[in-house]
Structure 1
């Protein structure tokens, strides 16, 4: 037999086992190890140095990512910061909303964002409270980087804020816009179960929980400062000077619980401080503290109205005088000070506090009053509880997940404003009342007919907690115990688990695209050929094999290939033919691409012009805000 006959077939294909091995080796290149560092890009509408619940949570997230060895890139509004916690910060300019909401603006996507994302190549991109800047960035990332999974976080009830600021016609528009933006992401994270239920009712999908933690090393009952209480005028006779620390009671309560609680990393037991030797003659007072943004959307008017008459003691009932204290700043501070002065409350406005000063303010108070109904979590509520304070709030989203009525505080049930306080039979009924009304603003607006009842019921809660010292201390201890189990590390790792899932999704997307571009090497490609052979019916001549083969070759009719079906992907065929194939963008000619870019620029100019027009209308209507 000739050498030509024994040579291997030049077009032999690998077996199925060989293809499996090739695919397995190729996938390892894109395999995501759950232990490897993550690369997370974050697009936010709001960032430091502005301080609020969103920016504080975002700062904690960046610090956690740095501590765990992950990398982050922040794209956001104008800021003097170029980095934070090891993360590069890239900012953009915007139009300030001076007449609507001071400190915020309409920010615009800049080309540098796309360049930075291309250089950073994130595993996942997160959008914090997407509404304006994120509305521009989400479609851009989906267009230029379709492999990158998207994740969003919901922090602010902007739809309710629209009603509070006098633009109730915008509420359904805001819900529709937020629902559209969050639906473009793989997951939407929110901070509390009640908020998750609210989002589900509004048609949001793929909602997950991202809880919040509290720094129990900073916010603790031991931070109580008797000198600060003297400055507030609530000394010399502390109502509870000889009481044990809430932390000690919490430890005792923990030992008596039947269920197993996770171990608490608590500081050393509280050491009682000496009773103040202040010799003033003013009677003791109960310090009622509010911490947060001083703005009317926090429902502060309800608190101020409810405090009327409580600044003086009630000898008949034994209720002590109550001192109202505000910590924080905001656009409503001037009006709040004027209203308090009008009612003779002599309220203290201490301005913005942080760190140890804030911790001392919490621990030195006796009650934490928080009447807001627009919270998605209520971080200040958790900090007050860690400091050993019972909370007097509303049964609304966020707060109702942190405060258990009668055990860690007192909550005003908004359903009572419509149907009256629940009777014993209603409380025992198998058909409970609605948990949270769908429109609290309609019940708590100062012009609403239910507002006077709301003020009366909230005042009753404040009087109740001021009269019953033993119950107040027990609720403070239980609140401290509940807050001590909220870990920032655990909360952040819950979000990072979502990052890891989506990082694996990105790796799989790239692996699939790579398999397509590899053509025959990695794709299960086969070609089925149908041949028609015309034979004359003559038998093969006998003789030498080589002679037979030559004779057959000469006498055999020509084979005509009629059909050939191939399952090779378009990308693989293009590569096999020596061309290029862009799997991210459609192939366009030079003229078509130029026209596309001109059309894109035209849309951007129209968008900017309508934005400026809309902002001018908001400035003109700013007198409508509450």
Structure 2
């Protein structure tokens, strides 16, 4: 197949109305596909004031706001208007990127028409439940996810560690890696600015420990706080920098040291300057399927202290580009920060090694793998149809 033969209907629960790593990866993918000559149409909820302009054609999907999290919306129905648009677009492959109601309906629609479906995994949704006192629902939720993914022709996961979990959970027999690149023109050590640090009241020689991301509990805010407390108890001299915004900001401010610096959501060059001006990146999240922010920190030359979990283990080499710790042992985070505080040369070595890794992460090469997968599943579906004389469906 030629790229121009591809007609991709992409379903997303959040394509551009709130900025996060998942939707930025999807927008980059669509940009790459369009550049190659493929035809793409995106179906997602929209808001009057999105976080950034969408890449490609975007069709509004009916949605409702999430209770207590109004910034996020849940796609609610594959309406008559959306179905008509989908029929007119006539895709030869459907890509679903979140296991919501509309994506379930889109998979059913595609199966009825013999159109192959690819699902991409962007986060460990089942792990969110523990942050809202609903851990007892995890087996049921995992079963729902399994049914969803096993009705798709293939899954793309962002890292080998995430793929291993999906295999173990029996989500699919066909799992391909769609990793993530990093914009090294934006994120690089040259962005580091002592002037910026001074403007935030941070001394030139203070070890600055950074958090970057949406300020929501499922990002491991509680563990981050415990890690900083452990470092304080060890007498580690440091400051905390929080880059990002979110509904749990008040809780985070109350529980971090009073001299923690909150700079809010940053984008573009401002984000790169803030991140590169830190000295260590601390990421305790266990909900990530990849960890875009970890890779961006590495591209800035920062050593990483992270939970030994999906999202970090495929990026951070323990003792080489950073330090991996037991996700549930705050004292280990404190020990890691103490090591970096006491050995600036170690920070420099691990940061330089992380930068070398980030230099290998080219977006176009990575996104080309997704286009190859589209072609493979389309051609496989055609072979199965010819072999069995009827539409073949994955199960």
- TM-score, normalised relative to structure 2: 0.92
1:590-610 deviations in Å (ceiling 9; x for gaps): xxxxxxxxxxxxxxxxxxxxx
Q: Decide which of 338, 341, 354 is 1:466's aligned counterpart.
A: 341
| Alpha-carbon spacing, 1:312–1:121, altered in 2? closer, same or farther (3 Å) | same
Q: Does structure 1 residue 288 correspond to structure 2 residue 209?
A: yes
Partner of 1:202: 169
Partner of 2:16: 48
Q: In structure 2, how many angstroms separate the alpha carbons of the residues matched to 1:101 and 1:190?
A: 28
Partner-residue secondary structure (3-state), 1:401: coil
Partner of 2:369: 494
Pairwise CA distance, 1:302: 1.9
Contact 1:312/1:322 (<8 A) preserved = no
Q: Decide which of 80, 88, 95 is 1:126's aligned counterpart.
A: 95
Partner of 1:212: 180
| Alpha-carbon spacing, 1:413–1:335, altered in 2? closer, same or farther (3 Å) | closer
| Alpha-carbon spacing, 1:294–1:384, altered in 2? closer, same or farther (3 Å) | same
Partner of 2:379: 504
Q: Decide which of 149, 155, 163 is 1:188's aligned counterpart.
A: 155
Gaps of 5+ in 1: 1-32, 239-283, 415-443, 445-453, 517-582, 585-626
Partner of 1:411: 324
Contact 2:44/2:75 (<8 A) preserved = no
Partner of 2:125: 158
Q: Does structure 1 residue 169 correspond to structure 2 residue 136?
A: yes
Contact 1:44/1:130 (<8 A) preserved = no
Gaps of 5+ in 2: none
Q: In structure 2, how many angstroms separate the alpha carbons of the residues matched to 1:301 and 1:402?
A: 23
Contact 2:15/2:44 (<8 A) preserved = yes
Contact 1:162/1:170 (<8 A) preserved = yes
Pairwise CA distance, 1:113: 2.2
Partner of 1:353: 266
Partner of 2:248: 332
Q: In structure 2, how many angstroms separate the alpha carbons of the residues matched to 1:54 and 1:171?
A: 22
Q: In structure 2, how many angstroms separate the alpha carbons of the residues matched to 1:191 and 1:207?
A: 10
Partner-residue secondary structure (3-state), 2:339: helix
Q: Decide which of 274, 296, 301 is 1:383's aligned counterpart.
A: 296
Contact 1:190/1:207 (<8 A) preserved = yes
The structure number with the bigger radius of gyration is 1
Q: Decide which of 54, 58, 73 is 1:84's aligned counterpart.
A: 54
| Alpha-carbon spacing, 1:181–1:310, altered in 2? closer, same or farther (3 Å) | closer
Aligned residue pairs total: 388
Contact 1:214/1:483 (<8 A) preserved = yes
Contact 1:47/1:79 (<8 A) preserved = no
Pairwise CA distance, 1:104: 2.8
Pairwise CA distance, 1:507: 5.3
Pairwise CA distance, 1:354: 0.9
1:350-370 deviations in Å (ceiling 9; x for gaps): 111111011111211111111
Partner-residue secondary structure (3-state), 2:8: strand
Aligned residues: CA RMSD = 2.4
Pairwise CA distance, 1:502: 2.6
| Alpha-carbon spacing, 1:511–1:350, altered in 2? closer, same or farther (3 Å) | same
- TM-score, normalised relative to structure 1: 0.59
Partner-residue secondary structure (3-state), 1:400: coil
Q: In structure 1, how many angstroms separate the alpha carbons of the residues matched to 2:230 and 2:40?
A: 52
Q: In structure 2, how many angstroms separate the alpha carbons of the residues matched to 1:117 and 1:468?
A: 58
Partner of 2:238: 322
